Structures are given as C-alpha cells and as structure tokens.
Amino acid sequence: MTDSNNVIQVDHVYKSYGKQKVLKGIDLTIKEGEIFGLLGPSGAGKTTLVKQLVGLEEVSSGEVRLLNEKQPSLSLIERIGYMAQSDALYTELSARENLEFFVSLYNLTKHQRKERIKEVMRVVDLEDAMDKVVADYSGGMKRRLSLAISMLHEPVILILDEPTVGMDPILRKSIWESFNALKKRGVTIIVTTHVMDEAEKCDRLGMIREGRLTAVGSPDELKKEADVKNLEAAFLVFGGVHYES
C-alpha cells in the first residue's frame, strides 16, 4: 500500500550492466519535505540508484515512482532538479550565459528567469563571478554553478549527487542552510555523500554497500541500532565490517 506522503517509492529495483549487477533488490520510500542521504563508498551503487530516480536510466527489474508517476516520465522533468556527479556546463560561456540557457528550458516569464538566476547565484555565493567564463572557474565553483542550475526552476524534488565536493567548510555550511530552508518549503532533497558530517545533517539515511541497502533510518536511530557512538562506526557495522569501540 502506498503512503500518500511518499513522494518517492522504489520497489525491488535491480540494475545490471551486462553480467554485472549494480543494484540488488532496492526497496525505499522517501517522504515529502525530507532530506534523505545515500551514504556509501565509491562504487556502492549510489550514482546508479540516483539515475533510476531521475529517469536517466531504466531499471532492469522493479519499479521507481516519483510523485506517483512511474519513471522514466517526461512529465516529471520540470518537477525534478538534478545535479550529476560530473558538471554538465558550457565552459566556453560565462556563468550568466549558462544560467540563461538552462532557465530558458522552463516555462518562466522573462522577469521570473532574471529573478531565479539572481536567487540561485546568491545561494551558492557566485554573484560576483556571474560574468566570468566557466573555463576559468575552479572545480568547486563549477560544482556550485551546477547546484545553482539544478535549483533554477524551483523543483519539488532535488536530487544531488555529491553536491558539495570541492567546497570549503564555510560554504558547505551555507549550502546546507539553504537545503534546510528548501525543506521548510516542502522540497524533498536526496543527497549522495560519503562525508560523515554531512550524513549527520540528513533526516534519514540509506546506507548502501555493493548494490544493497544495508540500513535505513535517522542518524540517531542507526547509531542506536548498531550500538555505536558515530555514523562511521555504524556504517562499518551495517556494511558487514566488524567494528571494535
């Protein structure tokens, strides 16, 4: 039975590339206005799962539903914001030109486009670099611009694959404050990470290892269930690794 508060429903999802099984029976529900973290090492299946959620790839078996629509679905495009692990930017253009191109894809007025560009660049603290050519951006600045682009159309679901890689701690703190502000407006945010202090900021976490969800719960619930004092130790426990405190 589907809970009406669930905006994401993943039912027994498998994903294979040839003979390689990357996702192995994922079951997951995510509620409206929740910050949900996918925590796991490189190669665990986080990015593959995200691609199923966004609709970039079809599942090998099982089903993914967002906002009660089965993915992939063209009608969901304007309701989802997605930031990939690799920056998809036009590096020969300025940040402003990138933003103007991407915002033109959505059904917004000229005034709305201008205001959204100003707002998202304020969030990622790149207002002063608006007219700088993206090729001259640092890696961290490119990540911030990609994040800004994902938020341009005010999506109700924001799916972010390691969004704060390359950002300094002060900016990361500011970005997470923005995430919490979006959450208060009812936006659902899915974040992949392997950084424990970011995982602590999530409402709930899905610990993923070798294509399987090994545990789901709030950071405190997971630590209590594993009978440890920190998330890193909990992840080792749920990942099948013995941990001695």
- Residue 106 DSSP class: S
Tokens coding 25 = 């029976």
- 5, pLDDT greater than 70: yes
* Parallel/antiparallel/unpaired status of strands 6-17 and 20-31: antiparallel
Q: Residue 3: pLDDT band by 50, 70, 90 thresholds?
A: low
Pick from 60-64, 74-78, 156-160: least confident: 74-78
Share of the chain above pLDDT 70, in %: 96
Looking at residue 188, its pLDDT comes to 97
Q: Phi and psi for 214 in degrees, rounded to 5? A: -95, -20
- Residue 123 DSSP class: H
Indicate the pTM of the whole model: 0.89
Domain total for the chain? 1
Pick from 57-61, 114-118, 167-171, 228-232: least confident: 167-171
Tokens coding 140 = 């961290």
Q: Distance between CA atoms of 190 and 28, rounded to whole angstroms? A: 12
Q: Is the dihedral of CA 74, 75, 78, 80 positive or negative?
A: negative
Average pLDDT over residues 157-177: 87
DSSP 168-223: -HHHHHHHHHHHHHHHHTT-EEEEEE--HHHHTTSSEEEEEETTEEEEEE-HHHHH
Residue 87 sits in which domain range?
6-238
- 221, pLDDT greater than 80: yes
Element containing residue 31 per DSSP (H, E): strand 20-31
Is residue 137 assigned to a domain?
Answer: yes
Is residue 244 assigned to a domain?
Answer: no
Is residue 1 assigned to a domain?
Answer: no
Tokens coding 94 = 């300025």
Average pLDDT over residues 205-222: 94
pLDDT digits (tens, 9 = 90+) for 36-61: 999 988 888 999 999 999 999 999 99
Q: Residue 240: pLDDT band by 50, 70, 90 thresholds?
A: low
Looking at residue 202, its pLDDT comes to 96
Looking at residue 8, its pLDDT comes to 96
Looking at residue 1, its pLDDT comes to 41
Which CATH number characterizes residue 61's domain?
Answer: 3.40.50.300
Looking at residue 43, its pLDDT comes to 86
Is residue 99 assigned to a domain?
Answer: yes
- 244, pLDDT greater than 60: no
pLDDT digits (tens, 9 = 90+) for 175-193: 898 899 899 999 999 999 8
pLDDT digits (tens, 9 = 90+) for 8-25: 999 999 999 999 999 999
CB count, 10 Å around CB of 244? 5
pLDDT digits (tens, 9 = 90+) for 106-155: 888 999 999 999 999 998 889 999 999 999 998 889 989 999 999 999 99
Looking at residue 119, its pLDDT comes to 93
CB count, 10 Å around CB of 174? 14
Is residue 245 assigned to a domain?
Answer: no
Place of tokens 């994902």: 150
